[in-house]
Amino acid sequence: MKVLEIKDVHKVYNSSEVKVHAVNGITLGFEGGEFAAIVGPSGSGKTTLLNMIGGLDTPTEGEILVDNTNLATLKSSKLIDFRMRNIGFVFQSYNLIPVLTAKENVEFIMNLQKWDKNKRDARTMELLKAVGLGDRVNSRPSKLSGGQQQRVAVARALASKPKFVLADEPTANLDSKSTETLLDIMEHLNREEGITFIFSTHDARVVKKARRVITVEDGKVISDEHKN
Amino acid sequence: MIFKTAWKNVWRNKIRSLVVIASVTIGIFGGVYMIAIMNGAIEQRVDSALNDELGHVQIDVPGFRDNYDIGLTIPHPDSVMEAAGKLPGVVAMTPRTIITGMANSARKSTGVQILGIDPAREKEVFSLYKSTIPGTGSFFETESSRNQAYIGHELAKELNIVRYLVDDDMLQSLAGKGVPKSILDKLSPYRGHRFPSEKSFKKEMKSVLSAREEQEYGKTIVTEAWSFRERSRMTLTFLDINQTQTGAVFRIAGIYDTKNSMYEMSQVLVRNEDLHKLTGLAPDQYHRLIIRLDDMNEAGTVSSELGTRFPGLEVMPWKEIQPELAMMTDMVEMFYTVFMIIILAALAFGIVNTMLMVVLERTKELGMLTAIGMNKKRVFGMIMLESVFLSLVGGISGMLVSEALIGITAKRGINFSNYAEGLEAFGVTSHIYPEISSTFFIMVTILIIVTGILSSVYPALKALRLDPAEALRTE
């Protein structure tokens, strides 16, 4: 079953003088459990596409269906709630809440969803162990390395068992060893939990790990390659 | 979770938060303490007015208050007192004879109100007797002699009953109080000199002492030079019941000091029986009955009850007798409000400013929170809670500092003796005991929370207007 369908999506930015077609008719579908990378040069429309998939931006034309729900039909407050339950986010610059510990950051969304404490604690510990930070649960982000922070971010994204995780250049700020570890962890969780990962990336190491590589240029998909 | 996060966010930028908290603390402390001083002064004024001068309820014959006609005495005062004595809340009563006249000494004369009193009953209603200046006598405690008068310090000064004397005793006690020898040397040529008034003594001192010496030791010198001529006398003249001029010599029984110069200047107390004999009034003729209650706030109720029972008499509670006292109390409440509004407005601007900065600084984070699923209500709530925490911490610490300082100074009082003359002219003592009610504290705490909430609205709205996609792109 498709967790995500992108149907002929366009995004046009109207500046005062010129119209910019950031995304120009993209159609894609993602099944559960995919590990996909969207690649392309800067300005190719990767981030715009990812923002639209994540419901942070709306397409000028076309439809985005997450689990058969058209995001455009949801009102702003419903959309936020929908995002919280169905989409996980990993950002380039980690974006953890600096005043909270690793554990508190991971359980933040579960808290918003009012999970029962025992269930929440179990899930948090399970994820933190899975990302190799079982011994750093009470560390604040400032006490963690970049790679460790990004692993906390991955744990946070997966916490409430979303349909898929969107990761915008997750390795851009990491050294190669951290990148390697992070990718291994993500791949492991992808297989373990069956959650789809969609990356936008420049990083050849990410492309190498991905099982599906979608290349975007000038707002269009120019290749969509499934590896075995 | 939102509570915890908001609380932790307050301490994210410790220095900035502490500066805001400190300014709130100082603001609240300044306001609350000022109000406590004002309140204390007014309470003391009301207290002394009721305990020394007015009583709680006064009963006269209608019209007496307008012209003090000696003939307007209360018919059957005993039955009125008996009826009043049965009312709940009435503690004591005292009958007074009141006439206007002149007080004269060898040098001067001045208009006064002569109050005929029964010393024993008077003590049950008023505590004026406690204000006797030590060494000047007592409140009619020497039974034997007829025609004694208990007068105010200001009047004693005016009539030169109190004098200023430089002698060996005075110079010695000044030395004992640490007054430097250079000053004593300047004073010693005046040995044996008597000054008839405070004014003339001060004028003379001014001519020999430097401004600094005068400022530092002037008060002590005047106090030490103060002397009371024992067995002093004065003449009181007035009209008797037949409108014939009469009068008698009165010995000074004692001098009182109430810190209300107007009262001290104008009220002379004598025994009822002396005044009755001189004026020709019968022994049971009185112009006024004064009642003391156990609760001053019951004055209105007791007055209206007595008023209906004795329609031929004028019964007035203290708030009607001296509306300016009631007005002072009301005015202080108005001051509170204006003061607190100004302080809270300053607090609000401080918080708005800080919280706007917070929202600006955390644009990216707020974008992230919206992206991962924190809805607008929660973002709004979080920013609001941060403002409330900030104002509450500042507010509570301000209140604690105020409470502590009010507690300390309420016991000792604050000495404003440098401004004594001005204050006493308004009937306010120069030693003020700051005082504030617990309801005021609760009210201020609520107001601080409300201010915190109100001042968070604008920054929180600003946070709501952020577009998450755009916010995430900011660096």
Last residue of a domain, one of B282, B312, B342: B312
Digit-coded pLDDT (tens) for B13-39: 899 999 989 988 998 888 888 888 888
How far does chain A reach from its first CA to its final CA, in angstroms?
Answer: 19
The DSSP secondary structure of B163-205, one letter per residue, reads: EEE--HHHHHHHHHTT--HHHHHHHGGGTT-EESSHHHHHHHH
Nearest to B1 among A80, A108, A157 (CB): A108
Which tops the pLDDT comparison, B13 or B231? B13
Contact assignment for A81 to B373 by CB distance below 8 Å: yes
Give the dihedral sign, CA B326/B329/B331/B337.
negative
How far does chain B reach from its first CA to its final CA, in angstroms?
Answer: 26
- pLDDT of B145 > 80? The answer is no
On whether both B18 and B142 belong to a single domain, the answer is no
Q: A38 and A200 in contact (C-beta within 8 Å)? A: yes
Q: Given pLDDT bands bounded at 50, 70 and 90, which one contains residue B427? A: low
- Flag whether B56 is in a domain: no
The hierarchical CATH code for the domain A2-226 is 3.40.50.300
Tell me how far apart the alpha carbons of residues A53 and A39 are, in angstroms, rounded to a whole number.
15
On whether both B370 and B445 belong to a single domain, the answer is yes
Q: Considering its fold, how many domains does chain B have in total?
A: 3
Full strand arrangement of the beta sheet holding A87-90? A87-90, A164-168, A196-201, A35-39, A212-217, A220-226
On whether both B176 and B296 belong to a single domain, the answer is no
**Residue B144, pLDDT score:** 64
Interval B134-148 mean pLDDT: 82
B-chain residue closest to A108, CA distance: B1
On whether both B108 and B257 belong to a single domain, the answer is yes
Most A CBs within 10 Å, among B7, B372, B389, B464, to test the A interface: B372
The position carrying tokens 């009963």 is: B59
On whether both B101 and B151 belong to a single domain, the answer is yes
**Residue B419, pLDDT score:** 73
Interval B456-462 mean pLDDT: 91
Question: What does the buried/exposed string (b/e) look like for B85-101 if buried means 16 or more CB atoms within 10 Å of the residue's CB?
Answer: eebebbebbbbbbbbeb
Last residue of a domain, one of B228, B257, B284: B228
On whether both B331 and B418 belong to a single domain, the answer is yes
A-chain residue closest to B8, CA distance: A99
Tell me how far apart the alpha carbons of residues A110 and A118 are, in angstroms, rounded to a whole number.
11
On whether both B290 and B340 belong to a single domain, the answer is no
Last residue of a domain, one of B176, B206, B228: B228
On whether both B35 and B66 belong to a single domain, the answer is no
On whether both B183 and B270 belong to a single domain, the answer is no
pLDDT less than 50: residues of chain A: none
Phi (first) and psi of residue A92, to 5 degrees: -60, -45
List beta partners, residue A89: A166
- pLDDT of B172 > 90? The answer is no
Q: Is B365 on the interface with A (CB under 8 A)?
A: yes
On whether both B135 and B188 belong to a single domain, the answer is no
Domain residues of chain A, as ranges?
2-226
pTM: 0.73
- pLDDT of B117 > 90? The answer is yes
Tell me how far apart the alpha carbons of residues B23 and B85 are, in angstroms, rounded to a whole number.
55
Q: Closest by alpha carbon to B394, among B16, B98, B3, B12?
A: B16
Please list every residue in chain B whose beta carbon sits closer than 8 Å to the beta carbon of residue A156. Answer: 372
Two tokens at A179?
């990148």
On whether both B384 and B395 belong to a single domain, the answer is yes
On whether both B235 and B218 belong to a single domain, the answer is no
**B243 lies in which domain range?**
62-160+230-312
